[in-house]
Amino acid sequence: MTIFSIVLRSLRQHALSCAVTSASVALAGGLLLTVWVVKTQSQAAFTGINGGFDAVLGARGSQLQLVLNAVFHLEASPGNVVWQDFLDLQNNPDVELAVPLAVGDNFHGWRIVGTTPDLFQKSEYAPGKKFELRPGGNWFDPARRSAVVGSFVAEKMKLKVGDRFHPFHGLIYDEQRQHAETYVVVGMLKPSNTPADRVIWIPLEGVQRMSGHHAGADTEISAVLVKLKAGSALAGFQLENYYNKQGNHLTFAWPIGRVIAELFDKVGWFDRVLTLVAWLVAFVATGSILASIYNSINERRRELAILRALGARRTTVFSVIVLEAATISAIGVALGFGVYAVLISVVTEIIRSQTGVVLEPFASNPVMFWEPAAFIVLGACAGIIPACKAYRTDVANNLGPYS
Amino acid sequence: METLRQPLLQISGLQKSFAAPAGGRHRIVSVAEFSLTAGLQLALAGESGSGKTTFLHLIAGILQPDAGTIHFNGEPVSTFSESQRDRFRARNLGYIFQTFNLLPGYTCLENVLLGMSFGPGVDRGRAQQLLERVGLGDRLQHRPQQLSTGQQQRVAVARALANRPKLVLADEPTGNLDRKNSRAALALIREACREDGAALLLVSHDAELLGQFDQVSDFSQINQTVHLEEIA
């Protein structure tokens, strides 16, 4: 009979307390895994998403707000850009592609964005990947009130080709602010796992000339997505200098990844708080292992004395208790992956529905290797104090009555 | 012929005392000379509180003597370190307790296997064979609490013999049994020790049980602290 089989029998004897402490470790482990994976994956996903563009040009204001508005379709637009500014940028020899965007309307809370067909036909949202339509659909006709619906919106609003809808004014749904125009769904995007999935795309002129928009809206846009020519390494610096330092009415957010990284720097404290909470939960769970085994030692003194009387060394008894604590932790870690699967599924869906960004929660991540090891080591450490108590068990006094 | 054999167990000048609650120390064991030949079955008669269990614990290496020597098969057990004594106990001794001391979370078979685990190593076949020999071949997977008191004692006997001991120590082994079971248990212990070639040192105050032994010694004659002696 090995030490491990002695441990398993002991766990079997104390199944209830073992289950409760394992569950607390599982909760802590699942929480820590979730926080860590969401942190690393969302940072990688958000900083990696640029829609295939290098920069965003918009009204004077926050670069972060500009990027969130134009690339992630979050936040309000910081202001408008006049059409001539768009043309100037489009004609810059270092610019490969400039795509105008106009925002300001919604359909039941889903953002309606006006743009040109260039967004779908000339750009790649990721290297080698262009937006594609589901079978039976078409790109919108700039001269008609037609719309292409992102895959997530189509799924949530159950829209299909041929459906008609009225846009609502503003970025927040208010049923009192319905526009008179009727749009026809002519196509639905295949899922791209980008924020574009959460948008209803209509021709740029549609937003510019929507009834109820302010006078002059037809010559203004909200932002310009900019792709610089490959090889023009200094173009980004030059345009940033031109718009941000020499100019005074526009903002050039470049590069997009750096702007988003700054966001994560700003909210880094939140990550750290969550991580700290997860580690605190882990320490509490470890403490519960310590307490449950420590308390059980009193009722197990006789059992330990019998083991010693049969020839088990003090170090063997010590090892049994430490291994028992580590095993409870290991069981908790294994169950923790189940907790993680549940938590991460919920969080991934929330992030997807709020931003369109899809995380890959089950992709390999270093935390999935070091977290189980750390928890098992912590568990084993929690076993040391009760193991010392077991180590000191007086054999003769605990074996039973003296005849 | 017995006396010509090399003693299995040789004790001389053995002393053990404990701290008394009211201060000072109580000497419990003071044995000038004691020996036991290999394969011999000896009963020690003594009243409750006469130091019999302490004497057995000292032989088993569970307690360390204050003075004196214990030699087992020529080896000075009393000078062994604690881990050496653990190893000695696991390899050479079987111990049958008055309260059996079976582990409740283990099956009969596992309790017997445990008797081998720290010594020569686990031999599942022998464990099953021992339980069959004590009449519990159909109770291998039963837990102690599912057995009668007599059956529990038989498991304890099987466990004591599991590591092929040279000496079996039995401390009031029938103290918790009725008369009928008591006789049967003693017969089983003696027969099992004889078959395995193990010496048996049994302590008891039960006159009827002691009457079944050819060799009985009065422990009060061996242990010279007839009354608890207070040491200044």
Compute the distance between CA of residue B74 and CA of residue B61 in angstroms, rounded to an integer.
15
Does the structure show a pLDDT above 80 at B195? Answer: yes
Does the structure show a pLDDT above 60 at B154? Answer: yes
| Mean pLDDT along residues B200-219 | 91
Count of pairs with CB atoms under 8 A, one residue in A, one in B: 88
pLDDT category of residue B229 using cuts at 50, 70 and 90: very low
Question: Looking at chain A, which residue has its C-alpha nearest residue B103?
Answer: A303
pLDDT at site B178: 80
Please report how the helices A314-355 and A268-299 are oriented relative to each other, as an axis angle in degrees rounded to 10: 150
| Mean pLDDT along residues A363-391 | 95
Compute the distance between CA of residue B93 and CA of residue B200 in angstroms, rounded to an integer.
10
| Mean pLDDT along residues B115-133 | 91
Question: Looking at chain A, which residue has its C-alpha nearest residue B121?
Answer: A1
pLDDT at site A349: 92
Write out pLDDT tens, residues A195-244: 999 999 999 999 998 887 777 778 899 999 999 998 766 889 999 999 99
- Centre a 10 Å sphere on the Cβ of residue A283 and count the other Cβ atoms it contains: 12
pLDDT at site A213: 78
B126 to chain A, any CB pair closer than 8 A? The answer is: no
pLDDT at site B208: 87
Compute the distance between CA of residue A131 and CA of residue A125 in angstroms, rounded to an integer.
7
pLDDT category of residue B57 using cuts at 50, 70 and 90: very high
Burial label, A75 (beta-carbon count in 10 A; 0-12, 13-18, 19+) = middle
Write out pLDDT tens, residues A213-226: 777 778 899 999 99
pLDDT at site B3: 45
Does the structure show a pLDDT above 70 at A194? Answer: yes
Query: Percent of chain A beyond pLDDT 70?
Result: 99
Write out pLDDT tens, residues A162-193: 999 999 999 899 999 999 999 999 999 999 98
Residue B22's CATH number: 3.40.50.300
A301 to chain B, any CB pair closer than 8 A? The answer is: no
| Mean pLDDT along residues B102-123 | 91
pLDDT at site A264: 86
Q: What are phi and psi of B230, to 5 degrees?
A: -90, 125
Write out the two tokens for A189: 């995007």
Query: Percent of chain A beyond pLDDT 90?
Result: 73
In chain B, what residues touch A306 (CB-CB under 8 Å)?
101, 103
Write out pLDDT tens, residues A263-275: 888 888 888 898 8
DSSP B99: T
Strands, E assignment, A85-131: 95-107, 110-115
Chain A nearest-CA distance from B48, in A, is: 5
- Centre a 10 Å sphere on the Cβ of residue B89 and count the other Cβ atoms it contains: 27
pLDDT category of residue A357 using cuts at 50, 70 and 90: confident
For residue A230, the number of C-alpha atoms closer than 13 Å in the C-beta half-sphere is 1
| Mean pLDDT along residues A20-49 | 90
Compute the distance between CA of residue A325 and CA of residue A331 in angstroms, rounded to an integer.
10
pLDDT category of residue A80 using cuts at 50, 70 and 90: very high
DSSP A60: S
A244 to chain B, any CB pair closer than 8 A? The answer is: no
| Mean pLDDT along residues B61-79 | 94
Query: What DSSP letter does each residue of A14-40 carry, written as one string?
Result: THHHHHHHHHHHHHHHHHHHHHHHHHH
| Element holding B36 (H helix, E strand) | strand B25-37
Compute the distance between CA of residue A297 and CA of residue A393 in angstroms, rounded to an integer.
9
Alpha-carbon dihedral angle through residues A15, A20, A21, A26, given to the nearest 10 degrees: 120
In chain B, what residues touch A10 (CB-CB under 8 Å)?
105
Does the structure show a pLDDT above 70 at A110? Answer: yes
pLDDT category of residue A247 using cuts at 50, 70 and 90: confident
Chain A nearest-CA distance from B112, in A, is: 10
Does the structure show a pLDDT above 80 at B5? Answer: no
pLDDT at site A347: 95
Query: What DSSP letter does each residue of A293-313 carry, written as one string?
Result: HHHHHHHTHHHHHHHHHTT--
pLDDT at site A218: 82
pLDDT at site A403: 57
Compute the distance between CA of residue A51 and CA of residue A323 in angstroms, rounded to an integer.
51
Write out the two tokens for A344: 């991460």
Cis peptide, bond prior to residue A142, ω within 30 of zero: no
pLDDT category of residue A48 using cuts at 50, 70 and 90: confident
B48 to chain A, any CB pair closer than 8 A? The answer is: yes
Compute the distance between CA of residue A285 and CA of residue A29 in angstroms, rounded to an integer.
9
Compute the distance between CA of residue B57 and CA of residue B54 in angstroms, rounded to an integer.
5
| Mean pLDDT along residues A111-128 | 93
Does the structure show a pLDDT above 60 at B211? Answer: yes
pLDDT at site B1: 43
Domain boundaries, position B200 = 2-231
pLDDT at site A359: 87
- Between A324 and B2, where is the model more confident? A324
| Mean pLDDT along residues B67-79 | 94
Whether the CB-CB separation of B15 and B30 falls below 8 Å is answered with yes
Q: Hey, where are the domains in chain A?
A: 3-46+267-398, 51-254
DSSP A214: P
Write out the two tokens for B98: 């008055």
pLDDT at site A200: 97
A12 to chain B, any CB pair closer than 8 A? The answer is: yes
CA A146 to chain centre: 33
pLDDT at site A401: 66
Residue keyed to tokens 């292409």? A148
A299 to chain B, any CB pair closer than 8 A? The answer is: no
Does the structure show a pLDDT above 90 at B112? Answer: yes
Work out how many domains chain B is built from and give that number: 1
pLDDT at site B188: 86
Does the structure show a pLDDT above 80 at B232? Answer: no
Q: Which among A392, A368, A386 is positioned nearest to A326, based on CA atoms?
A: A386
